[in-house]
Each structure stands twice: as C-alpha cells, then as structure tokens.
Structure 1
Amino acid sequence: MADQEGSPGEFDRHRRRSHLTVGIVQRIVSGLAARVGVFGGLDPEGWAIVRGEAPTVYQQTGRNVRILGWERNPVVQACVRLISNFIASVPFEVTDAPPGEGGDKIEGHALATLLESPRVAMSGHRLRGLVAVHYLLYGNALMDLERNGRRGLPSGLRLVHPEDLQFVYLDSETLEIGRYDWRDRNGATHRSGVEDMVHFRDIAGGDWLFGYPRAAAALLDISSDYEATQYVRQIVANHGSPGIVMKVAETTTNKEIRAAKKRWQEEYVQRGQRGGVAFLRGVEELQQIGFNLRDLEFPDLRAVAREDICAAFDVDPRLIGIGSARGAEGGLSGIQYVEARKRIVQQVVRPLMDALESELNLWLTPEYGNVWVRFSREELAKLTEDETELSQRMINEYRATLISREEARAVIGRDPDLDPSHTLYSGGFGSLFGELPSGNGHEPPPKQLPPGREEEEEASDQRSRFRALHLTAPQRHVLWRDFDHRASKAEDEYRRVAQSLFTEEAADIGRIFAENVPARRSTRAAGDDPFVQAALERVMTNYAPGGEYHARWLQRYGQLVTRTFALAGKQMAAEAGFSFTLENPAVQAAILQRTERLASLVTRHTAEQVMAVVGAGREAGVGMREIAGMINEAIFESQAPQRSVVIARTETIGALNQGEYETARAAGIFAAKEWLTQGDDRVREEHEDLDRMRVPIDADFTPGLAFPGDGRAGPEQVIQCRCTLLYHT
C-alpha cells in the first residue's frame, strides 16, 4: 500500500473542485440538454449544424491528396508511424493524483481495464496507436463511449474515423458542440451526445471546434512529391518513346529493317542477353532519345519537399532515412540516432501525450471518481535509454532518496522484493553482509529536540520497533514495510464497509425523491418545485449528526476501529512483553472520538455534494427523477468507489497508529517516540521535516499531531498519510 500523501481525497476541503462534483454535474447537465435537443424538447433552431473546418475540409490544393489518403505518401507514413509507435508502446496508468503530481498507480482499476481492452478485437496498444494516427493525420481523434444503459459507466471505447464525422450541432448559448452525427463502416448514421464522445483536437489557428491536421501545412509539398512520382510512372509506362534509335544507310529497305529488328529481339530479348554489347554492320550512329530515370526523379525538388513534410511533423528527416537538400546523407550514426530519438520524445511525443492525457482527464476519468490517467513515464524512458543509462539513473535516484530500492528494482526489470537468503554489497562497510547491522556511522543521528526535551537512551539488541539505537536507512525501511503490510491486510474491510454504506445511501435517496413525486404530475417540474425542497430536507436530516446515515457510519466504523485498536495493541504488547486490554478508559475514549470524527466528516461532505447536484439540477430545469439520477451518477457511481478507497487507506493507517500509540502510553514503559516515513518523494514536506524526530511519549510533534493520522491536525495532515512511529524505552 504505497499511496500519495496529501493526494486529493476524502475530507480535503482545500482541493481543486474542477475534477469533482462540479465538473461531473456540468457534464451531466450538458448531456441532459443534448438529449432534450435530440428528442424534440428544445427548439431545433437552437442548434446550428456545422461542417466548416471539419476533418474533410482543409484547402483546395489538398483535396486530391486527402481523397487519396495522407498515409499513402511515404514520408507522411514514415513520420506518423514513428510518432504513433512511441505512443502505442507506452501504456496508460490510472493514478490517484493528476499527471505531474507524483500520484500512485492504482492496480486493477476498472478504467485501466477499459483502456487496455477497449472493445472486442482491439487491444490497448492498438487503441493508443490509432488515436495518435488520427490525431496526427487529421488533427482530430474521436472515441465514442459505449455504455451499459443511458447513464451507466462506459463498457467499451469505439474509435470514430474523423472522415466519418458528418455533422456536429452547436448549442445556441455556449456555441460549443452538443451532438455528433457520424457513420459506421456499414454507412449507418449514429448520434452521440457530447457526454458520450471524447474528442481529441490538435491546435488550430481558427475556430477550436476542430483541430487542424499537421500534414495540411505541407499540402503543396505532398502534392509535389506525389505528382513527381505520378509523372515518372506515366512517362515510363505510357509515353511510348523508344530508348535508342539506330540510324542505318538510306539504301536499307523496310523489309531489311524489320528483319534486323526481329533478329535483335530474338537475340537480346527472348534469349536473355540484355545488357550485352552488340556489334552490327551497317549501323552508322546511335542516338539516345529516352529519359534518364535519375533525372526524372527530380532529386533536389523531392529533397526540399520531403524536408518540409518532416518539418510539419517536427521529425528529423534522417530518423526516417531521408537525406537533406543541403547535401547531408540520410541516416544517423549511433550517438546521433540516440540523441535524435531523445529529441523527438521531448519535442513531439511528450507534448502529444500531454494533450491526450488532458482530454481523457477532462472528459473520461471524472466518471470514475478521484482518478486520473497518465502515460507510464518509466515505460517511455525505457524507449530512449539503454540498459546502462537506465541502471545508472536508478542508482542516482536511489542515492538521492528520490525512489525506494523496490521501485528501482522494478524499473530495471527485477523482482522488487529481495530474497532474504541473498547477500548485498554495502559500500559503507566495504564488505558483504547477510543481516542488516544496527548502525554504520553514516546514517544521520536523530534530530535534536528543543532544550529541556532530551531523553536518555539505553542500548538494546532487540530486533523490534522498540530500540534506542540509530537505525540505518535499510532498517528503517524494513520496519516501515512491516507496518505497511499490516495496514494493507486490514484495508480491504474498511473499503467494503464504506462502499456498502454509500450504496445504501444511494438507494435511500432515490427512494426519497421517488416518494416525493406527486401523482399526475410531470416529472419535469420547475426548478423551484417545493417537492424537490421537501425531498432535499429529508436527505439533509438523515446526514445531520444523529441522523440515520450518520448513525450508520458511527455504528459500523466503530466496530472496525475497535478491532483495529485491538490488533495494534495485542501486537505491540506481544513484542514489548506486557499485557494489553481494551477496557482502558483512555483507549475507549480514543475509539469513540475517532469514529465520531470520521462519521461527521464523511456525512457532511456527502451532504454538501447532494446540495450541489440538486442546485445544478434546479438551474437546468430538470425534474425530480432526473435530479435523483444525477445524484446517483455524480456522487455514488462516479465518486463513491474512489472515496471508499481513500477512506479505507486513511482510516486503516490512522487507527493502527492510534491503537499502538494509546497502548504505548498505557503501558508506561516507553519514554519517547520517533517519527518514521517511507523516505521517498511522496512524503509530505511537513512530515519529511518530522522524520527521525524524537519527542516524549505524551508530547505532540507539531500542534495537534501526536501520531500519524491524528485527526486533531486537520485533513491536510492525515489524508492517506503513510507514516508511523518507533517507540523508545
């Protein structure tokens, strides 16, 4: 369980809202408006049909090239294949933080499965490659979201060829696309609302409804290259001019000429002696009148045209074997080739990946809650690094404590976990060792406490978490992993309980809104319908302290937290050699306080989300049943699964830490506690400053933070915190 500390999640009231309820609700409202327009509830004149600057319209000189197909030009084909191969070879990852913010990869997520198996007979590799090809050739790539029902999560991704886009319809107020009409391969027309189409657009100097294709900037060069090829082919195939004329004496008769031609054909054509030297009597002169193929190829003109095509795609011509018009040969030496590949990744591939990630994270990932999509940066690095460079980079990042040893081993293709029977070379000792020593003199000492808070330490040779020795970095990491392993085992039950509670709330809210729909009344009531307000008040009562939903969280998580406290206390007592009981009043008070804080935060946050969705539904003028559907989709279907994960991770680690802390205080044998982080770049800056700090057992490390996960410190200090404590006798 390695999660981004401080990543957007449950209880975080300072996070950006654009990726949460507001963004999802806006999309749902847009989708409802689009459907109303499609089925006649909106004035048809409110829509404008648009074809200008569509993928089929660029400029007159490019029409023939477009009809023939961009990819049939060998230079365009080579440039697009080079870039799209990079894109296709790097898989998507689903993370718990936006790209660039170091989020953790979420294994086994439903969105990851969809992106790797988008539909029958299409792999994730092929999907990424085709999206890149469409984006590069046409400036646009489109994916239709195939759903289970009108509002279900996407069950498949269907590529729509840009040339098959027939019309788009613009909303009269926003002038943004509200509906797409497109053809399938059988010619049947389909209508997709804006909420069901992911539209990737390249940049365009004009309107931004459609992207402008990169190859269109080199249309004249593509046409010139194509026409030169066609001209040579037609000359060779259809001109009919003989290659050589043999001049003979005037006295030669036509019959003699025909006989000589026949003998020539028999000797040099039919008998396979082409290319030989012929000596003929009576031939006075040879004159070549055919075309020289070398001259026909127009090499200088082609070199200029092909360089321009490569420039449009920002590709070094030599990467695809094209020489320069300035005389440089095609092809690159070893070092030049490596540098050119790195350059194209930085200049072309990474920006294209960023564009695709941005659109997916704007239009697709919000349906799955607090998750994001990114291309695997490690897989991309492997494409431009050899094994030596990759190994050296991992060594440097590990030495700089930017990554863990396990992460470095995984990147270079080895099992992240070491075999306990293996030996490691330690540069600090200059020798081999099998067991980790208790200290090597090179590790930083514990951070100094303020004056008056020093404690005396007694040496201990116990291999436990209760020691006064200075631990090495590997030892600290082993202890942290032991704690993390115990937390991971307990996490799943926390997640299941949270998901179950959210499911019950979704069903209850749907029933409440259904019961408040009056008989013989249209479901499309006005936005200020008093029945909507009555249903909302019932829901808010259930979420209030003492309400039904609040009581459910208090009761079920109270049982979980109690069991976690017992697990933590028993293990600590067994390791330190003292007895443990849950009957201690301080422990019971801590359990109740932790559970009440959790129940209040979760129910208050959900209540705020419900109010936001109802407000948006009222503004859109939709009825009660539509509002109930919006609540279910925007809050419970889209966000609840990821909220359950964040709640589980936060509360599991917090409860384990607090259980150990309360047990240690009650035991009366520990004098101090020491903060322990994983030591990677995902640790909060505030907690990085606390690492190795020792304070008296009853003291706070910072105001309100007596242990990792202490709710008194506020959500910004506890959400998905992965830290724990070491205790000193």
Structure 2
Amino acid sequence: MPRTSFNYAREVDGWQSSIIMACIGWIQRTFPEAPLMVQKRDADGEWIEVLDSPLVQLLDNPNPFYDGLLLQSAFIADLTISGNAYLLKVRSGAGRTVQLWWTPSSLIEPKWPSSGTEFISHYEYTPGGQQVKIDSLDVVHYRLGIDPNNLRKGRSPLQALLREVFTDDEAANMTATLLRNMGVPGLLISPEKDATISPQDADAVKEYVRERTTGDRRGQPLVIGSATKVESFGFNPQQMDLKQLRRIPEERISAVLGVPAIVAGLGAGLDRSTFSNMAEAREMAYESGIIPLQRITGSQTKHQLLSEFVDAEDLVNWRVVYDLSEIRVLQEDEDKLSLRTIAQVNGGICKVTDAQRILGLPEDDSQDFYLRGFNMLSVRSGETGNEILVPQEEPKQLKSGDWSEEMKTLYWKRIDRERLGWWGLAFQKVEPLYYDEQKAVEKAIKKGDMVGNAEKAIDSLSDKWTEVLEKLTFAIVEHFGKEIAPETMGKQAWSFDPTHELVRAWIVNHAAESVKTILATNLEDVRKVLLASTDEGLTVPQIGRKLREFYSDRSSFKAMRVARTEVTQSASFGSLESAKQGGVMRKKIWLTSRDDRVRIDHLDMEGEEVELDGTFSNGCEAPGLGGDSSQVINCRCVLQYTTG
C-alpha cells in the first residue's frame, strides 16, 4: 500500500470481512438468476440459441458431487475476492472434458519457463501441501483484468481497499473487546491518597476485578476492601463514533464491487433510504455489477471451455451469454409499459396487434391496423395536406347504385377512421374500471365466502359502469348522428337531436344491457380463477396474487373488446336514428368494408337494401347492431342510405 510500511494484505482476509461477504453473498444469490446459454450466428447474422449444447450440460452438472449452481457460486466469490478463479478439468479416455472441479485460488498458481518461451506452461496445484503439476489446457483460469505485478493473473479491485477492510475489522474487534470488558475501553485501579500496594496485591486486585467484571458476571456489584480509585482511560465508543467510522468502508467496498450499499443491506445505504428506490438500486446493481461480471466470465468460458466442443476456426461464430430476458428487476414496469403502448396505439405509431404482442395478450389477426383519430389526416411526403378528396360528382338525390366504387370507398374509410379514433377514447374510459374491480375483488375474498363476496364486489361497481357507458354512448351517438346527415344529402339537410326521447331511452337500455353482460362475464372469469386456486390449496394471499396476475394479463384486452363493441353499436345506432329523424331517407344499404378483412357472410350482403326499420338478411338492423354475435363481433361494415 502507498505511504505506509504496514503490510495490510497479510492482515486482511476478504472471506472474513462482513462487508465484503454481504456484497459477495448478494452476487452469489443473484448471479444464477440469468441462465447461461450458448448461441451460434446463422447465415443472416442472427444469434440463435443452441439448446442441446454439451457445454451447457457440463456446466449444469459439472461432477457427481455438486451441481452447476454450487460451482458457479464458489468461483464467482473467489473471482471477486482474489481476482482469479480456477476450474480443473477431468477428461475421459478420449480426451474430452467430462467433469469440472472448483479449486481455491490460494492453492494454485500459474507457472512459466524462465526463458519466457511460453506465457503459461503449467499450473502448480498444492492440495495438502503437496505440489501437483497440471497442464495449462486442463485448467480454466478466470481473471478480473490483469495484475500489473503478475501478468499471468487477474487482480481484484479489493486490493485497493485493504486499509478500508482493515479499518472495519479493527472497529469490529474494538467493539467486541469493549463488550468483553464491561463496555469500557480500559480501567486504571489505584489506591486512594498515600496508600501503597505491593505487586502481589496489585495482581490479586487485578484478577479479582477481571473475574467479576467480564463474561457472565459483567455488570455485577464490585466491592474492594480498601480505599481504591477506579478510572477509565482511552476513548469510549461515543467519543470514537464507531458507527460513522464504519460507514466509509461500507461505502467504498460496495462501490468497488458494483453493489449499492442498500442492496447489500449495509447501514451506509439503509440510513439514507426509505426503500422507495430499492428497484432502481437493484437495477443499478445488475448493470454495474452482475452484467459486466457475466460478460467477462462468458467470454472466458467461450475461449477456455466452448473451444473444446466446436472447431477453432468456427469459434468466432459462437458465444456464451446469459439470458436476462426473465430478470424481473430489468423488466419495464408493467403499468408504464401498458400506458406507453396504449399511447403508441392511440397515436397511430404501432398497430393494435403489435400492442397485443408487446403486452403479452392473445393476438387477434383482425386487429392488424393502425388507430388514428378522426381529427388526424394522413399526408404523403411532399403534400401539404390541404387538398381534400371528394367525389367527382355530388348527387342531389341518392338512390341505390348512384355511388361509384370510389365514392363508396371514400365514404367507408371516413366512417371507419372515425370509429377507430373513438376506440382509443372508449378504452381510456373503460380500462380504469377493471383496476377498480381488481381492488374490490381482492379486498372481498379476505372475508370468507370468496365467490359470493367477489360477486358482491363486482356488482357494487354496476352504477359506476352504467355512468361511464351512458356518457360514452351518448357522445358516440351524437357524433355519428350529426356526421351522417350532411354525408347522406351532400349538404346539411336536418339537425340530429341526440336528446330525443327515443334516443335517450335506447342509450339507457343499451348501457344497462351492456353492464349486465360485462359484469356477468367478469364474474365468470373471476369465479374460474378462485375455484382453480382453491383446488390447488392456495392461501388467501396466494389467491390474491393469482387475481392480480389475471387482471394484469387480461384487463387491457377486455377493455379494448368492450370499447370496440360499444363504439360499433353506438355509431350504427346514431347513424340510423339520424336518418330516421331526417325523414328524407327511405331505405338503408349494407356497405361492406373496403379491404380484405371482410366476413365471408358479409361479402354476399354488399348492396343489400331494406327499409329503415327493416332487418337485413343476417338478422342485424345495422352493422354491429342486433343479430347473432357471430355477425356482430369485429364487424367493420357501414350503412349507406337512399331516398328511393
């Protein structure tokens, strides 16, 4: 060590330091969370996992006496403390490595000829004091960097902290010594005034005081026959402030090892933490401690072990890595991920199917499209966006068959685009209701009858659901009712009244029926979770976690399904009711969606014409309205109207 002649390295043993072992212990427990895997680069340059790699099998079962996790734990601790870790290879008769054994770095040393013709010629292994020469090819030597004093070995960063480790050890020793000596640093016992005492009496008094103030007798009354003065000398614990003294080693050792003090449970971190930042601290520990260590060991495993299982000339196309995909602390917060993904969908950045895949939901192929609000206009590069595409001719009186295919396509696209825009708004209104339901159900199941109480909890939200759906339905009906009037006549022919008695009655009845169906579906889903959990013999807290997982997985999907259904039905009703209020249109025509995602049943309905109060051949009053669910769900057709 610089600026001192004291040999701290001789006095310090990292394996005996509580601070070092707190950090090492966390690394040992955490390092195996990411399983090791072998990957090979394919013809397209993509890394593909090799599932049947013999290297993975060897590291998982290195020898008959301990498994891969124990082996990994041992060499990671040794590597971190000493800067070196060694695995000894045991070969079969054919020369293949069939076993691996960890050996402490203190028992093995790399050796080389004095001529310098070889970097490392062999390793000298000294178990039980006997020297054994081992070929360098039979040793896996992991290093942390390169020791400038011995280029064949690695160097632990703890070498720079020997004084800090020594300081903490001495502080611990001092505390233990004080407790052994009745909690005072030292006693000076002397006769009062001019009295004298012989050496024999002095030794007797010393032994008498020691016997009655240490061990199990500490704190007992002490009686001395003659006038005696007892004084303490040295510093007491308060004067030394050992707590603050020991914080410095904790801070520096945890920093060097890449493990924040709070993660290792050290006082230097706990004193300044409320645990609200624990997730960030664990993530930091992974990124500054675990991941770099995995990258170092993975590379050295590739060159010293994987090279025995693949051709040397092809080794460049192989690598040894650790799978971090399932490490919880490195995963994005689910709530943040959901909000960000929903915002990207509503902003038209990613498709609905992309969002379903990102959130781990079942992918619906019919949702392979972008959502863009009706107030957003797609503009090609180089265009101003001010040009409005309108039909070449605007008929004064619309009759069946009057519209060209171009006019029908433009009309359908505008209606469909507006419906898609309302999906996002409806989703934002509905999704929070599922979170409210989750909390209510979790609370209810703690009271006994789980299914019965869950039903009551779900039913208790009926009024809130009704309020949300009535307001949402009114807004959608009003929008599409006012939109259809000018569209059907080419000019504002009438004003749609969303407050009409018939409209209000439909909105109330529709919301009530929707709430009834939604809550019944939700209860059935929750009932299945509760019964399955009960059959497994889970406790109430475990069932609570099951419910949280269920709602986390399904709430977004279910909310979007409700949003789509409500928008489609309300838009169709608003359009149809507006046409009825106008008194001009006499018939309605089924107009299928103008893309390749049309129901086969609906392809045959293109141009089908019925009275305004009539029912189409599929049993629907309008797209998504009435009829069997097989004809309603995900329907994207629209209505066209005619005066003839």
Same fold, judged at TM 0.5 (above)? no
User: What TM-score comes out, normalization by structure 2 length?
Assistant: 0.45
Between Structure 1 and Structure 2, whose CA radius of gyration is higher? 2
Higher relative contact order (CA 8 A, sep 6+): 1
